């Protein structure tokens, strides 16, 4: 588990700037904490000392906070300044963190959406393609707690902790030895515990997710159960699943919390040990009272960022998982269809498909499997065949939206034959007017019913004036009157010279077509 | 606001949270953070005492206590986390079952919305969010109160003035941060939710419409729409971040003020000889440890807000049917053939029950409507028991609404439906009427269990026979575990056509004498239409009364009566 994804630093500008600024603010915070500790030591030491203090008990660090801070008024004035600075630093850090988190999420979201769009319909139909919607809507949100809570503490543990160790070393080497001795134990123990329990935790996590999704599945099926009068049985099942889930979760938590306990135990015990040894050495006069006080105040600060990193560990895991999902998309290479030649004008051109085959995402079938067809201008060509055998995919290949696994799409013009794969993809695609099965009409389209959306998309395709009109199941969700009207308009469009290609099950539309092409899938031989 | 608070409280009450466990969690949590406070106080005493150069034996007890607190913190924290998570999980389990029960009895329009993925994900998230209120809000707040009380108590016992200063600072840090965080959460909830919805819409349009954008040349516009939505969302987050940042600053300021105030009081009093060095050291250093508990207040407040919103959504969604709108149970209509009971088939009814004759169905100038919507064209029709009634009409004319009215789910907007001679009622759905919606759910379980949703006692033999009737025998034979294959996982996905045919098989296996089927011909290929014909034929042979909603006129040839909703 990496705490920080280098790709975030490398590729996302706002993330890089934020990390640098936060590190600087962290250093400033460390210096303020140091001054606070030294000032407390100066102010309190004269009260505790049995005799008036003669020497400077802080060694070379005493130059930072002069001896006049032993005067209460001076110390309080200094402390007020330090507190004001710390308040300002905290406020700035919080503001920057929220802003940077929001910026990084926006930036990643835009990049992922653009890249996913460029990856094309075949990738979109694969498992990764369907997961990307979750990533860009809710998934990336977990980066906000990562940036606001986790990352600052991570950077503090890289700045405050080492600085404090140097300071403690300068004050009292025995205390520093205790700190330096225990500090590496923290990550070592955490890694050890994490390593031995990882498999178990992963198994539990998986079981938990499965149980949770089964409960939701039951709720999703509630309308169906209710329609069949079977809704009351599963409440007991929900309880059962939940209890199983609780046991699985507690099993993993008992182990997962162990690392937290070790962390707390080591850090607090180390502070206690520092205090006790300081006490016994004070009795011998082996250490000055000012040093003892400063070290006592500073010792917990060494561990604080590490403890906070542990506390916000889940924010790190979620944030990194979200970043991972985003970068996985961004790192998928784009195999853009098409070439660099200018596309021919498709008005009046005959479209030819030869031996076209596209593998399904699971690779088990070719859908379509070796399709050959011809679509002439001024005619209606109907693609028919069972659901899932590749009619929509054939249309996408025809429009140059995807590169087929074999076969090709070409245009026959008076100038000759041009292969779709050799021309600039957008020049080719944008000569088609397309009404897909589930048209996306932007935000305003989401308030329309399926039938209404279908009508709007058909209107757009039939009135765009583009040379080739491609309609995918144009009559589904329409009633008989609208269906007849659409069929008439399709015929009219062909009569004006457009090349019309439809995928359909509708008998009346098939009857109205000039040519009917059967699309069938092929099983891939294993 | 009060409504939301009430919702959270009533949901938590329903989830039967054991109070003693919650109290135990707060106790162990306070012991953990109290150890840190104790460690700080005793360590201060130890150093102050040692500075007086006593005999080492005088320090022995303090040294032991310091080490005890050092260990106690980790140990108590571990116990607290175990107890509190177990408590919360028990609560979530009970809550989930309770939400399911509430939903099962909820108003039908709420239930019908459940199939949408986003609604579903929200319910899952909301139930967890309500459960989180315990671990992440109630317990930390309780611990903050107890530990702050302990710290103020120690300080006040040593020097009342110092106690007052510490108490004031902790109150400012706690209440000030809570108010500011609450404000931030409310801004985020109001502006942020709308902004998030816009972002999601723009992002989904960019993804789902990618191919369309390429064909229509609208990719740049889609990109700009997302950029704009992103910017609006950033502005909303910025507005919410302002009070949140202020809360963090206020806490820092209060802690600093407590430190300065305590130090001033302790040093002045010690110099005046009011008390000794050890007391002064304890008072001075206590504020450094006392704020850890109260620093958890912002996160806890935020969680409380989130949980309340979640609770309110759950309660609103699962709002139980008001008793007034639910017709009182009355005896079931007397059947035309007299051979089925009011309860329909008991779960164990053998399949050989059929043929029976289902009840006659009459529509008398029936007009249907969702509340607030335009009612459908009045329809009058009648089929005898065992007949088939087809409903046809334009898209969006209200065919499904009419079907729900037939089932008694919606009250008629006008006119009447009579089943077996008496008006239809809501409680007939289930016992007498079984309905297969266009988007009926396939569960993430085996093929066989999915068929058993119709009836608990479907045998493998019944299942195979029905599967063959709808033409899915080859498909099932190709599945890795046949009828025992779990659907929807590991590549065992179901295509649209297969899904429709499975639902038809399920409709055929239902025990109810009245079968309603919604739009089964949409997206059906030729094989699917054959399956539908076979199922309708079988239902007719069994003597059941069938109502089918369709666009496809060829089906109306099989119907005894046709209702057209067109004008």
* Average pLDDT score over chain A: 86
Mean pLDDT to the nearest integer, B73-99: 87
Q: B379 near B566, Cβ under 8 Å?
A: no
Inter-chain contact A478–B551, Cβ cutoff 8 Å? yes
User: Nearest 10 degrees: CA dihedral of B23, B27, B32, B34?
Assistant: 130
Inter-chain contact B203–A86, Cβ cutoff 8 Å? no
The pair phi, psi for residue A351, each rounded to 5°, is -90, 135
Q: B337 to chain A, minimum CA–CA distance in Å?
A: 22
User: Nearest 10 degrees: CA dihedral of A301, A307, A312, A318?
Assistant: 120
Q: A223 near B112, Cβ under 8 Å?
A: yes
Q: Enter the tokens of residue B538.
A: 């079988």
Residue-level pLDDT at B352 = 45
Answer yes or no: is pLDDT of B396 > 50: yes
Mean pLDDT to the nearest integer, A412-419: 91
**B96 contacts in A (CB within 8 Å)?**
215, 238-239, 242
Question: What totals of helices (H) and strands (E) does chain A contain, helices first?
Answer: 18, 11
The C-alpha atoms of residue B15 and residue B88 are separated, in whole angstroms, by 9
Inter-chain contact B82–A452, Cβ cutoff 8 Å? no
Inter-chain contact B430–A228, Cβ cutoff 8 Å? yes
pLDDT digits (tens, 9 = 90+) for A491-500: 999 999 999 9
Residue-level pLDDT at B253 = 97
Q: Are strands B361-367 and B414-419 parallel, antiparallel or unpaired?
A: antiparallel
ipTM of the complex: 0.83
Place of tokens 């004050």: A171
B57 touches chain A (CB under 8 A): no
Mutate which of B200, B207, B508 to test chain A, going by most A C-beta atoms within 10 A? Answer: B207
Window B:320-349, CB contacts with A under 8 Å = 344
Answer yes or no: is pLDDT of A232 > 80: no
Q: Enter the tokens of residue A176.
A: 């520093």
Residue-level pLDDT at A78 = 95
The C-alpha atoms of residue A233 and residue A226 are separated, in whole angstroms, by 11
Residue-level pLDDT at A439 = 82
A388 touches chain B (CB under 8 A): yes
Inter-chain contact A260–B77, Cβ cutoff 8 Å? yes
Residue-level pLDDT at B515 = 92
Q: According to the per-residue pLDDT averaged within each range, which of A9-23, A25-39, B78-92 is highest? A: A25-39
Out of B201, B234, B444, closest to residue A102 by CB? B234
The C-alpha atoms of residue B539 and residue B508 are separated, in whole angstroms, by 7
Closest CA to A280 of B361, B257, B58: B58
Answer yes or no: is pLDDT of A410 > 50: yes
The C-alpha atoms of residue A413 and residue A421 are separated, in whole angstroms, by 16
Going A464 to A491 to B527 to A228, the CA torsion angle's sign is: positive
The C-alpha atoms of residue B45 and residue A227 are separated, in whole angstroms, by 72
Closest A-chain CA to B35: A268
Going B156 to B161 to B162 to B167, the CA torsion angle's sign is: positive
Angle at A502 between CA A449 and CA B202, to 5 degrees: 40
The pair phi, psi for residue A406, each rounded to 5°, is -155, 165
Question: Binning pLDDT at 50, 70 and 90, where does residue A449 land?
Answer: low
DSSP letter at B332? P
Place of tokens 């001076």: A74
Angle at B340 between CA B334 and CA B341, to 5 degrees: 70
Answer yes or no: is pLDDT of A226 > 50: yes
Residue-level pLDDT at B343 = 37
Answer yes or no: is pLDDT of B322 > 50: no
User: Nearest 10 degrees: CA dihedral of A365, A392, B392, B345?
Assistant: 30
Residue-level pLDDT at B338 = 35
Q: B403 to chain A, minimum CA–CA distance in Å?
A: 12
Q: At what angle do helices A289-311 and A185-220 cross, to 10 degrees?
A: 30
Closest CA to B553 of A484, A25, A140: A484
The C-alpha atoms of residue B334 and residue B422 are separated, in whole angstroms, by 8
Inter-chain contact A478–B104, Cβ cutoff 8 Å? no
Inter-chain contact A238–B215, Cβ cutoff 8 Å? no
**B553 contacts in A (CB within 8 Å)?**
480
Mutate which of B38, B128, B214, B222 to test chain A, going by most A C-beta atoms within 10 A? Answer: B214
Angle at A40 between CA B148 and CA A300, to 5 degrees: 60
Q: Are strands A499-503 and A468-472 parallel, antiparallel or unpaired?
A: parallel
DSSP letter at A140? G
Mean pLDDT to the nearest integer, B470-478: 88
3-state helix, strand, coil in chain A (%, to 5): 65, 10, 25
Place of tokens 């085996």: B446
Inter-chain contact B48–A40, Cβ cutoff 8 Å? no
Q: B536 near B388, Cβ under 8 Å?
A: yes
Window A:228-257, CB contacts with B under 8 Å = 228-236, 238-239, 242-243, 245-246, 249-250, 253-254, 257
Closest A-chain CA to B78: A261
The strand order across the sheet containing B388-392 reads: B433-436, B514-518, B545-549, B388-392, B561-564
Domain B4-186+237-319 matches domain B361-564 at the CATH topology level: no
The C-alpha atoms of residue B257 and residue B263 are separated, in whole angstroms, by 10
User: What 3-state DSSP class applies to B392?
Assistant: strand
Mark residue A65 as left, alpha or beta (left: phi above 0; alpha: psi -120 to 50; beta: remaining).
beta
Q: B393 near B551, Cβ under 8 Å?
A: no
pLDDT digits (tens, 9 = 90+) for B341-383: 333 343 334 444 555 678 889 888 988 887 666 778 888 999 9
Residue-level pLDDT at B331 = 38
Q: Enter the tokens of residue A231.
A: 């809704």
A131 touches chain B (CB under 8 A): no
DSSP letter at A346? -
Answer yes or no: is pLDDT of A221 > 70: yes
**A90 contacts in B (CB within 8 Å)?**
248-249, 251-252
Closest CA to A103 of A145, A144, A162: A144
A95 touches chain B (CB under 8 A): yes
Which residues sit opposite A381 in a β-bridge?
A501, A515
Closest A-chain CA to B393: A479
Closest CA to B245 of A143, A346, A259, A100: A100
Which contacts (CB < 8 Å, 24+ apart) does range A168-171 have?
A: A168/A295, A168/A298, A168/A299, A168/A302, A170/A59, A170/A60, A170/A61, A171/A58, A171/A59, A171/A61, A171/A291, A171/A294, A171/A295, A171/A298
Q: A61 to chain B, minimum CA–CA distance in Å?
A: 20
What is the Cα Rg of chain B in Å? Answer: 34
Inter-chain contact A214–B244, Cβ cutoff 8 Å? no
Window A:58-87, CB contacts with B under 8 Å = 72, 75-76, 79-80, 82-84, 86-87
The C-alpha atoms of residue A201 and residue B69 are separated, in whole angstroms, by 30
Q: Enter the tokens of residue B244.
A: 């949140």
Q: At what angle do helices B57-104 and B19-51 cross, to 10 degrees?
A: 160
Could you write out the DSSP letters of every residue in B218-266? -HHHHHHHHHHHHHHHHHHHHHHHHHHHHHHHHHHHHHHHHHHHHHHHH
Q: Enter the tokens of residue A296.
A: 């006592």
Angle at B189 between CA B185 and CA B190, to 5 degrees: 120
Residue-level pLDDT at B350 = 41
Closest CA to A493 of A413, A382, A379, A398: A379
Q: How many CB atoms lie within 10 A of CB A443?
A: 14
Inter-chain contact B551–A479, Cβ cutoff 8 Å? yes
**A116 contacts in B (CB within 8 Å)?**
206-207, 210
* Average pLDDT score over chain B: 83
pLDDT digits (tens, 9 = 90+) for B420-464: 888 888 778 778 889 888 778 888 788 898 898 888 888 999 999
Question: What totals of helices (H) and strands (E) does chain B contain, helices first?
Answer: 20, 9
Answer yes or no: is pLDDT of A2 > 80: no
Which residues sit opposite A423 in a β-bridge?
A341
Kind plus residue range of the DSSP H or E element containing B381: strand B379-383
Mark residue A390 as left, alpha or beta (left: phi above 0; alpha: psi -120 to 50; beta: remaining).
left
Window A:310-369, CB contacts with B under 8 Å = 362
Listed in sequence order, the DSSP H helices in B272-380 are 277-290, 297-317
Higher pLDDT, A126 or B510: B510
CATH level 2 (architecture), domain B4-186+237-319? Up-down Bundle (1.20)
What pTM was computed for the model? 0.78
Q: Structural domain boundaries of chain B?
A: 4-186+237-319, 361-564
Mutate which of A69, A114, A143, A228 to test chain B, going by most B C-beta atoms within 10 A? Answer: A228
Inter-chain contact B238–A102, Cβ cutoff 8 Å? yes
Q: Enter the tokens of residue B170.
A: 């902790």
User: Nearest 10 degrees: CA dihedral of A130, A136, A142, A143?
Assistant: 130
Residue-level pLDDT at A205 = 64
CA distances to A27, A75, B43 from A38, rounded to whole Å, are: 17, 10, 17
Q: Are strands B414-419 and B422-423 parallel, antiparallel or unpaired?
A: antiparallel
Q: A102 to chain B, minimum CA–CA distance in Å?
A: 6
Cis bond before residue A368 (omega within 30° of 0): yes
Q: Enter the tokens of residue A441.
A: 């009409």
CATH number of B361-564: 3.40.50.300
């Amino acid at each position: 588990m990496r705490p920080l994804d280098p790709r975030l630093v490398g590729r996302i500008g706002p993330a890089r700037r934020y990390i640098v600024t936060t590190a600087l603010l962290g250093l400033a915070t460390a210096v303020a904490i140091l001054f606070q500790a030294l000032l407390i030591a100066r102010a309190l030491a004269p009260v505790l000392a049995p005799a008036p203090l003669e020497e400077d008990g802080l060694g070379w660090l005493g130059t930072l906070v002069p001896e006049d801070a032993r005067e209460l008024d001076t110390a309080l004035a200094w402390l007020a300044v330090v507190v004001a600075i710390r308040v300002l630093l905290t406020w700035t850090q919080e503001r920057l963190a929220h802003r940077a988190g929001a910026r990084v999420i926006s930036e990643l979201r835009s990049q992922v959406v653009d890249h996913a769009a460029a990856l094309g319909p075949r990738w979109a139909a694969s498992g990764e393609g369907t997961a990307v919607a979750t990533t860009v809507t809710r998934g990336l949100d977990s980066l906000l707690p990562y940036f606001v809570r986790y990352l600052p503490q991570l950077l503090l543990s890289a700045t405050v902790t080492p600085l404090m160790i140097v300071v403690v070393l300068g004050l009292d080497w025995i205390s520093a030895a205790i700190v330096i001795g225990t500090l590496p134990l923290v990550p070592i123990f955490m890694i050890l515990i994490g390593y031995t329990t990882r498999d178990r935790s992963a198994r539990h996590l998986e079981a938990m997710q499965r149980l949770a999704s089964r409960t939701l599945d039951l709720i999703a099926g509630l309308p169906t159960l209710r329609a069949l009068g079977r809704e009351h049985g599963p409440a007991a099942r929900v309880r059962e699943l939940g209890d199983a889930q609780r046991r699985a979760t507690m099993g993993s938590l008992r182990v997962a919390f162990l690392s937290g306990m070790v962390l707390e135990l080591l850090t607090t015990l180390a502070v206690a040990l520092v205090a006790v040894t300081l006490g016994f050495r004070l009795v011998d006069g082996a250490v000055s009272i000012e040093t003892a006080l400063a070290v006592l105040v500073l010792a917990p600060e060494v561990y604080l960022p590490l403890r906070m990193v542990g506390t916000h560990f889940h924010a790190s895991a979620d944030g990194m998982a979200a970043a991972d999902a985003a970068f996985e998309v961004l790192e998928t290479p784009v195999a853009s269809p098409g070439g660099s030649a200018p596309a021919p004008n498709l008005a009046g051109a005959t479209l030819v498909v030869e031996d076209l085959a596209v593998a399904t995402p699971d690779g088990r079938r070719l859908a379509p499997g070796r399709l050959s067809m011809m679509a002439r201008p001024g005619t209606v060509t109907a693609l028919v065949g069972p659901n899932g055998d590749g009619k929509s995919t054939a249309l996408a290949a025809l429009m140059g939206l995807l590169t087929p696994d074999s076969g090709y799409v070409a245009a026959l013009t008076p100038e000759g034959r041009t292969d779709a794969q050799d021309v600039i993809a957008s020049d080719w695609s944008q000569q088609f007017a397309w009404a897909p099965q589930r048209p996306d009409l932007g935000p305003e389209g989401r308030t329309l019913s399926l039938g209404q959306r279908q009508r709007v998309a058909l209107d757009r395709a039939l009135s765009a004036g583009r040379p080739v009109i491609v309609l995918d199941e144009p009559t589904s969700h329409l009633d008989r009157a609208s269906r007849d009207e659409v069929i008439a308009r399709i015929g009219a469009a062909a009569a004006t010279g457009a090349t019309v290609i439809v995928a359909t099950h509708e008998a009346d539309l098939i009857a109205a077509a000039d040519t009917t092409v059967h699309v069938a899938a092929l099983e891939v031989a294993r | 606001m009060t409504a939301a608070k009430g919702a959270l409280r009533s949901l938590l009450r329903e989830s039967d949270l054991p109070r003693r466990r919650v109290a135990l969690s707060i106790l162990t949590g306070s012991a953990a953070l109290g150890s840190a406070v104790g460690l700080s106080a005793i360590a201060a005493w130890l150093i102050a005492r040692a500075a007086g150069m006593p005999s080492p034996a005088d320090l022995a007890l303090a040294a032991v206590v310091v080490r005890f607190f050092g260990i106690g913190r980790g140990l108590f924290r571990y116990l607290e986390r175990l107890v509190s998570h177990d408590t919360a999980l028990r609560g979530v389990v009970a809550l989930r079952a309770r939400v399911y029960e509430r939903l099962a009895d909820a108003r039908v329009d709420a239930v019908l919305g459940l199939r949408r993925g986003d609604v579903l994900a929200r319910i899952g998230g909301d139930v967890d969010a309500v459960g989180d209120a315990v671990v992440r809000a109630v317990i930390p707040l309780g611990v903050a109160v107890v530990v702050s009380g302990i710290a103020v108590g120690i300080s006040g016992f040593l020097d009342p003035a110092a106690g007052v200063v510490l108490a004031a600072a902790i109150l400012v840090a706690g209440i000030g941060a809570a108010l500011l965080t609450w404000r931030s959460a409310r801004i985020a909830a109001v502006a942020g939710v709308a902004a998030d919805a816009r972002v999601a819409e723009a992002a989904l349009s960019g993804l789902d419409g990618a191919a369309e954008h390429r064909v229509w040349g609208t990719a740049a516009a889609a990109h700009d729409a997302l950029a704009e939505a992103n910017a609006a969302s950033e502005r909303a987050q910025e507005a919410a971040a302002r009070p949140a940042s202020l809360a963090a600053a206020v806490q820092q300021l209060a802690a600093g003020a407590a430190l300065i105030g305590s130090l001033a009081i302790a040093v002045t009093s010690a110099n005046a000889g009011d008390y000794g060095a050890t007391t002064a050291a304890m008072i001075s250093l206590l504020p450094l440890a006392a704020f850890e508990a109260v620093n958890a207040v912002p996160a806890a407040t935020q969680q409380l807000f989130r949980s309340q919103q979640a609770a309110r959504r759950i309660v609103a969604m699962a709002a139980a049917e008001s008793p007034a709108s639910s017709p009182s149970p009355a005896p079931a209509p007397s059947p035309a053939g007299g051979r089925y009971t009011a309860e329909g088939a008991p779960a164990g009814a053998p399949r050989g029950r059929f043929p029976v004759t289902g009840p006659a169905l009459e529509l008398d100038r029936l007009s249907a409507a969702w509340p607030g919507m335009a009612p459908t064209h009045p329809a009058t029709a009648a089929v005898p028991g065992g007949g088939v009634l087809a409903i046809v009409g334009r898209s969006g004319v209200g065919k499904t609404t009419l079907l729900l009215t037939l089932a008694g789910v919606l009250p008629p907007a006008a006119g009447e439906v009579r089943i077996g001679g008496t008006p239809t009622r809501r409680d007939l759905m289930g016992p007498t009427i079984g309905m297969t919606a266009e988007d009926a759910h396939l569960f993430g379980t085996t093929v066989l269990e999915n068929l058993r949703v119709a009836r608990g006692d479907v045998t493998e033999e019944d299942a195979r026979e029905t599967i063959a009737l709808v033409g899915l025998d080859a498909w099932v034979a190709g599945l890795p575990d046949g009828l025992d294959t779990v659907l929807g996982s590991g590549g065992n996905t179901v295509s649209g056509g297969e899904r429709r045919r499975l639902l038809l098989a399920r409709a055929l296996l239902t025990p109810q004498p009245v079968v309603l089927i919604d739009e089964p011909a949409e997206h059906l290929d030729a094989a699917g239409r054959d399956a539908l014909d076979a199922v309708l034929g079988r239902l007719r042979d069994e003597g059941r009364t069938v109502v089918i909603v369709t666009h496809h006129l060829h089906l109306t040839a099989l119907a005894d009566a046709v209702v057209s909703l067109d004008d």
